[in-house]
A and B are shown apart, each in its own frame.
Chain A
Amino acid sequence: MSEITDDVLVSIRNLRIRFDVRDGIVNAVDGANFTIRRGKTLGVIGESGCGKSMTAKAIMNMVPKPGVMTGEVTLYKRHVENGSQVVEEIRIDQLDKDGEEIRNIRGGVITMIFQEPMSSLTPVFTAGLHIMEAVKLHRFLPIESIGDTMTRNIQKKREVSPEEAREIAIDMLQKVGLPNAAQRVDSYPHQLSGGQRQRVMIAIALSTHPELLIADEPTTALDVSIEAQILDLMRELQETVDMAILFITHNMGVIAEMADEMVVMYMGKEVEEGSVVDIFENPKHPYTRLLLASIPEIGEKKRELATIKGMTPSPFNLPTGCVFHPRCPDFMPGKCDVVKPLLATVAKNQNARCLMYDPCWPNTAEAQAVKAKA
């Protein structure tokens, strides 16, 4: 998945985010590599604190202080120039954090919706004002072509007028299925329910025609029926506007429903990646397998829910070798607690970070036995 092809939108290489805090150093993200493709949905799944949200923030260069980000985050911004498509490479990690350029990308190319719709809307703004603000900042309407320079077809663009912004706002609220959009546009957040607020968030996020929507656990705070509605809505809208979604969640069911490809993260590293169908059918990494096994099945009376034993280790005191080895059912003493596994290809378009699949793994009978078990 590392080759840069035409359909890559964002590629993240060797991303590390380090926090120097009083108790020591926390590596919130520890060498993440993945690629977001145009028009596709990438699901990121993992336990709380495994670096999912931090990765999302890194994509927007919004790592909070005192976090330090290293590695590469590259945005391949596509725009039409002179009739042909040109892809511009932007190293997001190298942009000034509060600069003009990143602010145009935030909201313009990449937008984000958050976990808690309750607190993501400014209480003093109406729903419409939120959308109008985003639209005013990021959406420009072409007026006319005013000529070509060397290679560029220059189009004069103007900002959206307040009346147009309001129209767009009402239109967007209608699109996200808010009843009475023309009235709701003047509602304050406290007058909306949780589901409605999340719809408004989605409306804001989509109002600027982004290329990537980062959805950071957008349905965690909602009840299941609303969750289903919101997910349906996002899928529908994605089909109509051709945008990529980075979907962060800790819910396997949601990933299965939404994503094309998925990344499983554990303690700041991705442990398995591949297409959703492959991973669900044939999970390779023990962690993924355990996660899938812990989904309770409807209609089956079980004695006890399957869990992953133990707890996530303290980030200040990570286990040696493979960070998952203390909880791993396939733990191989003398190996897993010594050697750090690398991401290895385990099947077509499926990688896992486990010594069982490491090509450098000595071809002993013991290893064969473990592999055969897998």
Chain B
Amino acid sequence: MTDAVAIPMEEKKKDAVKISQSYWSLVWWKFKRNRLAVVAAFILAGYYITCLIFPEFFAPYSKGLESDYIEARPTYPHFVDAAGSFSLRPFVYGLDEEIDVATRSRKFVVNESVKYPLYFFVEGEPYKLLGLIPAKTHFFGTDPANPDAKVFLLGTDRLGRDQFSRILFGGRISLFIGLFSVAVFLFVGVTLGAASGYYGGATDIVVMRITELLSAFPQEPLFLALGAAVPVSWPSTRVFFMVTILLALIQWGGLARQVRGLVLSGREEQYVLAARSFGASDRRIIFNHLIPATMSHVIVIATLKIPGMILLETALSFLGLGLVPPTVSWGTLLQNANTVRSISAAPWYLFVTPFILFAILAYNLLGDGLRDAMDPYSK
């Protein structure tokens, strides 16, 4: 008898849960169904964990460690050696320096007689995790007891620094720029857009004319001019923040216009009148009642804007107008590949591009997924 009663009760409970589905849980449901977007989200999570938070741990070397291997070719991990014997532990071959007599250039060739096994969680250069916790363990590396053993997954650069490690460290700056400049972008765009839409009149005119002015400028020359205006003598952190803020300040116009439009229609709604009739101040109405209603829109714009910011930073730095060495970012790493000579002699400089590519793709897919999930009118 108890069973017979229990089942309908269970069902009833389920119904109750169904009724109180909030908007965000509906968004989550829809988002989960979009496989591509979920994969993209995982890729991005991977990026942020390896590059932004723990690059010291995941990179075998620090970003500034100069080895004797100048522009050495990548040493790929192997499981099967030249003799055909299989080992479960991956290893890399050693590199021998060779002078090409004809071109009088130095070259590194794989020496298949020397094998350096790779280990996980090896002791290496000391570093501070998150800038706080002193640690020595690296995710992978060669035997710390053997100083000759080196692993350069993606080759080295002109100063003998490990390219793979530098890409991870460069990702920290580039990914952070994406987030930080979008945060500034959101703050400026949403605040000014909302103020413009809510107050109208003179505020609206001033804000909108500024956005028009900004959008009327050809973007690239403007970036070049502003990038060139950043003094060379500045320390790299200040340049970094300057570049981030620049990226945001030039781009907020589009967002401000969209938020203005949404707020403009929102402020005529009766709930705004109702909120006012309950004594809510303008600030409360804007920030608590109007801006949250624009959030689904804004989040999507932001997600789609982050890759744009990353690309812009990369492009600017590649041209030498954004970040400059010794700051390591994907843009400054790409600077190495700005001549035909370096590409023909050390094509591994181009290994930065797939990293950028996948980050950008993942963001775009995530943004698309979010847009589909958040649009209440989509199926």
A residues with CB within 8 A of B: 60, 62, 98, 102-108, 111-112, 114-116, 119-125, 133-134, 137-138, 183, 186-188, 191, 201, 204-205, 208
- Cβ of B280 within 8 Å of any chain A Cβ, yes or no, is yes
Residues of A with C-beta under 8 A to B282: 98
- Cβ of B114 within 8 Å of any chain A Cβ, yes or no, is no
Residues of A with C-beta under 8 A to B289: 122, 124-125
CB distance from B236 to the nearest CB of A (A): 42
Q: Is the CB of A103 within 8 A of B274?
A: no
Q: Is the CB of B19 within 8 A of A137?
A: no
Name 19 interchain pairs, CB-CB below 8 A, sorted by A. A62-B276, A103-B281, A104-B279, A106-B278, A106-B279, A120-B270, A123-B271, A125-B288, A137-B279, A137-B280, A138-B279, A183-B16, A183-B20, A186-B20, A188-B22, A191-B19, A201-B274, A204-B278, A205-B278
CB distance from A309 to the nearest CB of B (A): 34
In the assembled complex, the Cα of A111 lies from the Cα of B276 at a distance in Å of: 10
In the assembled complex, the Cα of A187 lies from the Cα of B21 at a distance in Å of: 9
Residues of B with C-beta under 8 A to A120: 270-271, 273-274
Q: Is the CB of A106 within 8 A of B276?
A: yes
Q: Is the CB of A103 within 8 A of B280?
A: yes
Contact of A121 with B274 at beta-carbon distance under 8 Å, contacts A183-B20, A191-B19 already known:
yes
Chain B interface, DSSP helix/strand/loop, else mixed: helix
The 7 closest A-B pairs by CB, nearest first: A107-B279, A107-B278, A106-B279, A124-B292, A103-B279, A112-B277, A119-B270
CB distance from A253 to the nearest CB of B (A): 25
Give which listed residue, A102, A104, A119, contacts B271 with CB less than 8 A: A119
Q: Is the CB of A122 within 8 A of B275?
A: yes
Q: Enumerate B246-276 residues with CB–CB distance to A below 8 Å.
A: 269-271, 273-276
Contact of A105 with B279 at beta-carbon distance under 8 Å, contacts A116-B270, A119-B269, A191-B20 already known:
yes
In the assembled complex, the Cα of A112 lies from the Cα of B275 at a distance in Å of: 10
Q: Is the CB of B20 within 8 A of A133?
A: no
Q: Is the CB of B278 within 8 A of A114?
A: no
Q: Is the CB of A123 within 8 A of B279?
A: no
Q: Enumerate B1-39 residues with CB–CB distance to A below 8 Å.
A: 16, 19-20, 22-23
With A112-B277, A123-B293 already in contact, 14 other A-B pairs whose C-beta atoms are closer than 8 Å: A98-B281, A103-B280, A103-B281, A105-B279, A114-B270, A120-B270, A122-B275, A124-B295, A125-B289, A134-B279, A138-B278, A188-B23, A191-B19, A208-B278
Count of B residues near A, CB < 8 Å? 23
CB closest residue in chain B, given A204: B278
Q: Is the CB of A134 within 8 A of B278?
A: yes
Q: Is the CB of B278 within 8 A of A111?
A: yes
In the assembled complex, the Cα of A186 lies from the Cα of B288 at a distance in Å of: 17
Q: Is the CB of B279 within 8 A of A108?
A: yes
In the assembled complex, the Cα of A133 lies from the Cα of B285 at a distance in Å of: 11
Residues of B with C-beta under 8 A to A98: 281-282
Render B161-173 as a binary contact track against A, CB cut-off 8 A, 1 for contact.
Answer: 0000000000000
In the assembled complex, the Cα of A62 lies from the Cα of B280 at a distance in Å of: 12
In the assembled complex, the Cα of A112 lies from the Cα of B276 at a distance in Å of: 10
CB distance from B263 to the nearest CB of A (A): 13
Residues of B with C-beta under 8 A to A133: 278, 280, 288
In the assembled complex, the Cα of A180 lies from the Cα of B270 at a distance in Å of: 27
Residues of A with C-beta under 8 A to B23: 124, 188
CB closest residue in chain A, given B376: A190
In the assembled complex, the Cα of A371 lies from the Cα of B32 at a distance in Å of: 78
Q: Is the CB of A122 within 8 A of B271?
A: yes
CB distance from A291 to the nearest CB of B (A): 27
Q: Enumerate B206-224 residues with CB–CB distance to A below 8 Å.
A: none
Q: Is the CB of B277 within 8 A of A62?
A: yes
Residues of B with C-beta under 8 A to A62: 273, 276-277
Residues of A with C-beta under 8 A to B22: 188
In the assembled complex, the Cα of A203 lies from the Cα of B22 at a distance in Å of: 22
Contact of A106 with B19 at beta-carbon distance under 8 Å, contacts A120-B271, A121-B271, A124-B289 already known:
no
Q: Is the CB of B273 within 8 A of A114?
A: yes
Residues of A with C-beta under 8 A to B269: 119
CB distance from A129 to the nearest CB of B (A): 9
In the assembled complex, the Cα of A25 lies from the Cα of B244 at a distance in Å of: 52
Residues of B with C-beta under 8 A to A123: 271, 293
Residues of A with C-beta under 8 A to B280: 103, 107, 133, 137
Residues of A with C-beta under 8 A to B288: 122, 125, 133
In the assembled complex, the Cα of A344 lies from the Cα of B122 at a distance in Å of: 100
CB closest residue in chain B, given A60: B277
CB closest residue in chain B, given A97: B276
CB distance from B368 to the nearest CB of A (A): 24
Residues of A with C-beta under 8 A to B277: 60, 62, 106-107, 111-112, 114
Residues of B with C-beta under 8 A to A60: 277
Render B225-256 as a binary contact track against A, CB cut-off 8 A, 1 for contact.
Answer: 00000000000000000000000000000000
Residues of B with C-beta under 8 A to A205: 278
